[in-house]
Amino acid sequence: MGGLYGDTITKLTNIRNTHGRGNFIPRLTEKESLVYERENSALVLLSNRTDGGYDSRTVLTGFAPGTPLIELTGNAASTVIDPFNDFPEMVVVNADRTVNVRIPRNRAPGANGALHNTGYLIYGPSGPQGTLSVSNVVQTIAPEVATDLATNATARLTAIDVIKANSFSVSLQTNQVRLLGTFRDPDADGDNALLSINNGIDSVRSTNTTTFGLDLNGNGVVDHTNPGSPAYGFESFLTKRSPLTTGGDGEYRQNIDATQLPEGYNYVEVRAFRKRNANEPSIYSSFRKVVYVDRLKPVSTIDSFKPFTAFPGDNDVWIRSLDQTADSVNVFWNVPASFTEADILGWIAQGQGRADQIDRDLFKTGTFGMPNGNNVLTVYTREITGTYSLQRIVGVTAGGALGGDMRGFGLADLNHDNAVRPDDISGTSYGFEGIMYARNTRFDPAGDLNADGLVDTRDLWLLPAALSGVAALTPPSSVHNIAGAQVALRQVVLNRGNINQQFGTDAFDIDAIYQRLGQTSATNDIWFADLNVDGVIDQRDVDMEVRVVFQTQYGDVNLDGKVDYSDLNILSASFDTAGGWARADFSGDGVTNLRDFYILAQNWGFGINGGLASSIVILGGQQLVVPEPATLGVLVAASALMLRRRR
């Protein structure tokens, strides 16, 4: 079929396709020789003699007198089979419809003729000649060469034209045929050509149940649907059709919508037909080209996990190329998000992470000690064209439908020892806190609670529920220390609320967030103040600081977890002065005023069992409702405040 052993099988198959029509008619039957005709299509000469030389015969044919018959196999032109030019490369049908032929034996003529075991010739009318081309080709991938037996079956023998555009054209330019350079054969110029891609198979849409083919020329139908015809599944050229036999320039051209073709290899065939009479079988020449449609980046996915040792977490991971275009795949586990594409491409250039190909669309690689949790799989998929994709697949957990094995308990077990304890939560080595503060220069799947491929503050807010889930396991496990982990978690939360990174977590950290309102990650380092990790500092970050970090409510001036008299007293003493949370400026507008009072009143009694009764107080010259009977101290403070404002 090609390579080191030649292309005999493909050549004979092609001849069968182009000339294999017409009734089978034996023309010569002898002990050592057989000649038969596919009526008015081809004349086949066979010999089983193993001595040198040939046998001359004159046989009857069904071809019209004067018809030139060209030798189709190439054997007559071989210097091994025909070292003395004994076999004509073309014969012409005599006036009585006979032809004079020489049947080659299986050893070349001469005293020391080579045993070639190719004792056959096939003669038939020539098909059209020409050149097939496609437009919008951005590169051509050269064919490979089979250098030894090991590569003979794998070397790609065909050049590949690469198309990245959404459309291209297929063009066949036929030319006037002069057989052996001199004998003019006008009928071989051809009177029609037809086009097929991928053998007429519609590989994108559902194939119509009554027809076979793909509508390439956009006329809404498959043009040739007769299964008994060599045109079955083929399309007519509509963009341009100009046969030489009707006075045209010999070009056939069709514009193709590349979006209806699959990504990757597509196989173009154009059949150009010899001009024949109505009662004569079709003869054509086949022109073929491989085009590679490369409009989109390749896409891969995880196919399955296959445990391969008794050690937890050791698996083969199988990667499937969804569009079947992958030429190579590299796989990396749990790469932190801070690593750039350039970093990963550098590892690939060094040969790291290379997966083995085990099928057309399957690749596998080993993973050792894969942690239980939400792993991140970085997959580099490259096509033969050089186009590649870099996918970051998050939330990967072995087991279940994917199979495989894992190491560790799972979420919150950051040292993967099958237990959740305080050191999984706090600490800078492997604990959650240290990985969170590494700001995505480190990654651990047991700390990625929301499965987004990051370990950040959003995961911190999910840890309480995760610890509660472990505590609720039935039966409870003695290997866990959930109470200790919850204590450690509370301290980690308080540490995270230290926005200004000074003197612990206090009211000044609330002020620090207010001072940065409106800042975004595009222009500032807002990591500490961006508690909800949405890329902008706004009121929601203040809410997180007050309600989640301090576990209190607006109005709690002293941050003791209650909104009560002491907070109201501070507000009264600070009324109408420059603010700050410690001076009851809950709104962050820089001054303590009625707006802050209303905030306190709205949350009055928070953190106090049973709440407080309502009453009225006068602040700033206004009678205001507070949820508690007005005390003398409050009224005095309010009166003093009013007096100060009047003066």
At 285-329, the pLDDT tens digits run: 999 999 999 999 999 999 999 999 888 999 999 999 999 999 999
- Cα distance between residue 200 and residue 214, in whole Å: 6
Q: How many CA atoms lie within 13 Å of 569's alpha carbon, on the beta-carbon side? A: 7
Cβ contacts of residue 456 below 8 Å, gap of 6+?
436, 439, 440, 533
- The 3-state DSSP class for residue 460 equals helix
pLDDT value at residue 596 = 96
Tokens 């929301």 belong to 450
Measured torsion, CA atoms of residues 398, 404, 406, 410, in degrees rounded to the nearest 10: 30
User: What beta strand segments (E) does 78-191 contain?
Assistant: 90-92, 98-104, 120-124, 129-134, 137-141, 160-163, 167-175, 178-179, 183-184
- Cα distance between residue 38 and residue 72, in whole Å: 14
Please answer whether residues 234 and 198 qualify as being in contact, where contact means their C-beta atoms are separated by less than 8 angstroms: no
**Phi and psi dihedrals of 340, rounded to 5?**
-90, 170
pLDDT value at residue 412 = 96
Closest alpha carbon to 263 in 305, 228, 295: 295
* Phi/psi-derived region of residue 617, left when phi > 0, alpha when psi is between -120 and 50, beta in every other case: beta
- Cα distance between residue 634 and residue 600, in whole Å: 14
Please answer whether residues 567 and 601 qualify as being in contact, where contact means their C-beta atoms are separated by less than 8 angstroms: no
- The 3-state DSSP class for residue 546 equals helix
* Residue stretches of the chain with pLDDT short of 50: 203-210, 629-647
- Alpha helices, DSSP H only, in 380-504? 422-425, 432-437, 457-471, 482-496
Tell me the three-class secondary structure of 601-615, residue by residue: HHCCCCCCCCCCCCE
Q: Write the pLDDT tens digit of every residue in 385-433.
A: 999 999 999 999 988 888 899 999 999 999 999 999 999 999 777 899 9
Give, for 366, the enclosing helix (H) or strand (E).
Answer: strand 362-367
- Cα distance between residue 411 and residue 463, in whole Å: 9
- What is the CB neighbour count within 10 angstroms for residue 469? 13
Q: Name all domains of the chain by residue range, CATH numbers in brackets.
A: 3-124 (2.60.40.1180), 129-293 (no CATH), 315-402 (2.60.40), 560-647 (1.10.1330.10)
Amino acid at 162: V
Please answer whether residues 529 and 499 qualify as being in contact, where contact means their C-beta atoms are separated by less than 8 angstroms: yes
pLDDT value at residue 4 = 84
